[in-house]
Structure 1
């Protein structure tokens, strides 16, 4: 079973299966007895069926808009954001919007092409769990999450820039 790393650096089993978007004309296939992350727009479309289920979370692709969940975000136990390639930074913006504008307070996970050198930046944007790319060593991730002791800018993890924190 794959593993994920939490924001505190601990490693745990990944209990969530990312369900791929079905091809056109096919239906969503959610495995029985398995926590599943389904495409966010399909969760919204099937809201009556999925609402209140603790075994269903959603995932966003980098081009998706988090506004589709607006007032429903905290009904979800896990929201994952896919990074299709390491150079695609739209997932950082999705995370900030979910945390800051929509007030999401449950687990926010980075999936896809997640590399070690991105972890601290993802953490500052509000992610609190990370499914690393399979060829990366998860045992090195804890060090990468806390490589810098302070961030200069305000972010999800602190609402004041460093110069204001130093002044007080």
Structure 2
């Protein structure tokens, strides 16, 4: 499936989703948590990624983060916000600096908010119009709190966390 990067460009997806019983390819591999825990990565040159189940808390995978180049957070339906929380926690509390990809039932108007939570790429659903996604990214430009993707937009944001902390 096509992937949009943080700037809205379509990029090739080099990652291969690997079933738990399939052999590990000599390419960037996206694994389940069970497979990743069982996999010995010694001597492996290709990057490893994790397909994070929405029910898994980021603290459950903290020890695995140094091994990972990609974490794919799953939105099973558009009203499920756990991927937003997972991405924010991975960036803010655990310092994960690799790629965080949103996958599953992601809507164009969620993209900017996912970025604010720390998501760096979005896997577009099959048949999605990339131009619609790029237009949606430009529409949502207001922010009410600090985020993982940089400072607040000019004139946007209330800075409540900063005021409350003072």
Category of TM-score, reference length = shorter chain = 0.7 to 0.9
Superposition pairs of residues 128-139 of structure 1, within 5 angstroms: 128-139=120-131
Deviations 1:19-38 (A, max 9, x none): 34x4xxxxx31452332211
Answering whether residue 144 of structure 2 is matched by residue 149 of structure 1, we say no
The whole-number CA distance in structure 2 between the counterparts of 1:19 and 1:146 is 34
The whole-number CA distance in structure 2 between the counterparts of 1:145 and 1:30 is 38
Please tell me whether the aligned partners of residues 71 and 102 of structure 1 are also in contact (alpha carbons under 8 angstroms). no
Structure 1 pair 30–67 and aligned structure 2 pair: CA distance change class (3 A): farther
Please tell me whether the aligned partners of residues 109 and 140 of structure 2 are also in contact (alpha carbons under 8 angstroms). no
Tell me the TM-score normalized by structure 2.
0.81
The whole-number CA distance in structure 1 between the counterparts of 2:89 and 2:159 is 23
Unaligned 5+ segments in structure 2 are: 161-166
Given the alignment, which residue of 35, 38, 44 partners 2:31?
A: 38
Please tell me whether the aligned partners of residues 151 and 162 of structure 1 are also in contact (alpha carbons under 8 angstroms). yes
Please tell me whether the aligned partners of residues 16 and 27 of structure 2 are also in contact (alpha carbons under 8 angstroms). yes
Please tell me whether the aligned partners of residues 125 and 156 of structure 1 are also in contact (alpha carbons under 8 angstroms). yes
Please tell me whether the aligned partners of residues 74 and 104 of structure 2 are also in contact (alpha carbons under 8 angstroms). yes
The whole-number CA distance in structure 2 between the counterparts of 1:13 and 1:157 is 22
Say how many residue pairs are matched: 157
Q: RMSD in angstroms over aligned alpha carbons?
A: 2.5
**C-alpha displacement at 1:124, in angstroms?**
0.7
Tell me the TM-score normalized by structure 1.
0.80
Please tell me whether the aligned partners of residues 3 and 11 of structure 2 are also in contact (alpha carbons under 8 angstroms). yes
Deviations 1:85-123 (A, max 9, x none): 111111111101100110000111001111211101111
The whole-number CA distance in structure 1 between the counterparts of 2:23 and 2:48 is 9
Unaligned 5+ segments in structure 1 are: 23-27
Structure 1 pair 138–30 and aligned structure 2 pair: CA distance change class (3 A): farther
Superposition pairs of residues 79-118 of structure 1, within 5 angstroms: 79-118=71-110
